[in-house]
Amino acid sequence: MAVVEADPDELRRLVGRDLSRDELVDELFALGVEFEGEGDDGLEFEVVPDRPDRLSVEGLARSLRYQFGDDRGVRVPEIGRSDYKIRVESVPERPYIVGAVVRDIDLTGGVLDSLIQLQEKLHATLGRRRNKGAIGVHDLTMLKGEEFVYRGIDPDDESFVPLEIGDAGAREMTPREVMEDHPVGKEYARILEGAERVPGIYDDIGMFSFPPVINGKRTEVREDSRDLLVEMTGTDEWTVDKMLNILVYALSDRGATVEEVEVEYDDRRALKPDLSTESKTVTHDRIESMLGVEFGTDDVVDLLERSGMDAETETRDGATAYDVTVPPYRTDVMHPLDVVDDIGRAYGFNEMEPRYPDVSTVGGLTESTRLENAVRKQLVGLGFQDLLSFVLTNDDDCYTRMRRDAPDDGVRIPNPYSEEYDVVRSWLLPSIVSVLANNTHRGYPQNLAEVGFCAVQDDDENTGIREETHVAAAVSGTDAGYEGAKSRLTSLVDDFDATVGTPTTEHPSFIDGRAATVVIDGDDAGVIGELHPEILAEREILQPVAAFEFEIDALRS
């Protein structure tokens, strides 16, 4: 989610209404734009990622003007002709560039800051941190000639003076030096990692921009700049087109005039910005059935116009449909139903009366849940406190502290949040031991049980991982011992009409001679025993513990 800071006075001026702070907040909330709090230079709003056209005070104001009905329908800024041209020469890794010439912009009074904010927010969202699209804005009067060249260059062969950030920059540097020494260069060098050639933009004097990393100092935009060249480079033409359109709309809302730039590729030419509209067709029935509201056709057209769209009514196969024109700054209208969402928003979803659907279905639980619930119920009857521990753990807790070696078939997380949680547990007893260790100050006996999730690798499974539900229980206290654990195990297994045997075994977590395999209906299903005193002493559990664990599926018979 992107957070946009907006000066409330600017917002009022651009909307053209004298709204109180609360009115601003409420009206934007109704649009799905949530108030986040007070920022240093205004109010902060959270803009959801489907509407990057709202990532500026100009964009928020535009949405509000439609909301109030002060603007209606699609408005496309007029684009003037110009002789500016960008020639593209072999930039295979970042093949697309678009641009526009902007004239008579007044950047004083916070407008420059707003432009910079929009640029940053677009980079973060649509631009995918400049990977997919990056913006450069230049002072046009500092550029010589009308034909620019966008070309792939050797990062050591060329040099220019990049923008100054703190002490960095403001000296002649090669692109490689920028990527290695300049703070902005270091941040974005990853995008060009491994590339033999990097992009550069040239005018008659020489290189003036190093997209997507940094602009040159020569063309730096200041508050007193009046005419601008806006360029965007990227890996996807649709994305850079949309980013440019959003920027052009914002500058146009500030009173600037916009002129086209011709982009010349080896095999084609394109005039930018491309402010052509798109259209979507949606039927009246679909709108009514999706929203559950009956509309007149005029209502629908009105609601669409208040969403900044145009609509023409047409009749198709005897049914009413709308040919809807979508403005060029919208990136989220992919399907006719997206248009229906806009109608719903303009109408007001909270105006709609909820109704319980007249649909009859039969509910029920899965067999696994029924079995787990039955086991838990019996365990509780046997006096166990049911537990619910984390599935994620670590080798130390899950194995080492249980005197076991970590198994080769464990499920591990290569990118954990912390080293504490980098293993998916393969058994439950360590979780129970941890709970015992964390509760030695609480009254005994402590009889604890968990029915829970475990996983191990298994080539036979489609995912390569076998997911199991285990049943584990421990008795702890002065009188706790093997016999107590076994009597409960026997009782539990009996409840499921199965038989249990406990042939002796060796297990590092249990005392020698007090450990057994849990065999249920003839199959090895788990283990039972008295926990080794070394485990208890290390966790400072000063009461004996006897425990068992087995796979729940052994009880299905």
Q: Is 188 helix (H, G, I), strand (E, B) or coil?
A: helix
Among 293, 374, 406, 498, contact with other proteins (rule: CB under 8 A): 293
166, 318, 414, 503: which one binds other proteins (CB under 8 A): 414
Q: Does residue number 388 form part of the binding site for other proteins (CB under 8 A)? A: yes
Nearest to 247 by CA among 86, 87, 121: 121
Give the dihedral sign, CA 446/497/556/527.
positive
- Binders of other proteins among residues 261 to 290 (CB under 8 A) are 280-281, 289-290
CB 79 within 8 A of CB 275: yes
Q: Which is nearer to other proteins, 206 or 416 (CB)?
A: 416
Q: CB-wise, 56 or 446, nearer to other proteins?
A: 446
Among 345, 403, 404, 514, binds other proteins (CB under 8 A): 345
Question: Is 332 known to sit in a ligand binding site?
Answer: yes
> Does residue 183 sit in helix, strand or coil?
helix
Q: How far is it, in rounded angstroms, from Cα 250 to Cα 240? A: 15
Nearer to other proteins, 47 or 178 (CB): 47
Tell the burial category of 552 from Cβ atoms under 10 Å away from its Cβ (0-12, 13-18, 19+). buried
338 contacts other proteins (rule: CB under 8 A): yes
Residue 160 burial class via C-beta count within 10 angstroms: exposed 0-12, middle 13-18, buried 19 and up: buried
Residue 310 assigned as binding residue: no
Q: Which residues contact 22 (CB under 8 A, 6 or more apart)?
A: none
In the complex, minimum distance from the CB of residue 380 to other proteins, in angstroms, rounded to a whole number: 4
Decide: is 319 part of the binding site for other proteins (CB under 8 A): no
- The C-alpha atoms of residue 241 and residue 261 are separated, in whole angstroms, by 12
Instruction: Compare residues 130 and 254 and give the one whose CB is closer to other proteins.
Output: 130
Q: Determine whether the annotation assigns residue 342 to a binding site.
A: yes
Q: Which is nearer to other proteins, 224 or 420 (CB)?
A: 420
What x/- string results for residues 235 through 264 when contact with other proteins is judged by CB under 8 A? -xxxx-------------------------
Which 80-139 positions form the footprint of other proteins (CB under 8 A)?
Answer: 128, 131-132
The smaller minimum CB distance to other proteins, of residues 202 and 496, is found at 496
Q: Which stretch binds other proteins (CB under 8 A): 73-81, 195-203, 209-217, 365-373?
A: 365-373
Closest CB to other proteins among residues 207, 324: 324
DSSP 444: S
Inter-residue long-range contacts of 443-447, CB under 8 Å, 24+ positions, other chains counted: 444/476, 444/477, 444/478, 444/543, 445/475, 445/476, 445/477, 445/478, 445/479, 445/480, 446/385, 446/474, 446/476, 446/477, 446/543, 447/382, 447/383, 447/384, 447/385, 447/473, 447/474, 447/475, 447/476, 447/477
Q: How far is CA 158 from the centre of its chain?
A: 38
Which is closer to other proteins, CB of 66 or CB of 148? Answer: 66
What phi, psi does 390 have (nearest 5°)? -75, 145
Interaction with other proteins in 442-501: which residues (CB under 8 A)? Answer: 442-443, 446-449, 453, 455, 457, 462-465, 467
Size of the site for other proteins (CB under 8 A): 95
Residues in CB range of 475: below 8 A, 6 or more apart: 445, 447, 481, 484, 485, 488, 545, 546, 547
Residue 83 contacts residue 146 (beta carbons within 8 Å)? yes
Residues 29-88 interacting with other proteins (rule: CB under 8 A):
29, 31-32, 34, 48-51
Q: Could you give the string, one character per residue 202-241, with x where binding to other proteins holds by CB under 8 A and - elsewhere?
A: ----------------------------------xxxx--
The single residue among 18, 357, 503, 540 that binds other proteins, judged by CB under 8 A, is 357
Which residues contribute to the annotated binding site for Mg(2+)? 332, 338, 341-342
Which residues contribute to the annotated binding site? 332, 338, 341-342
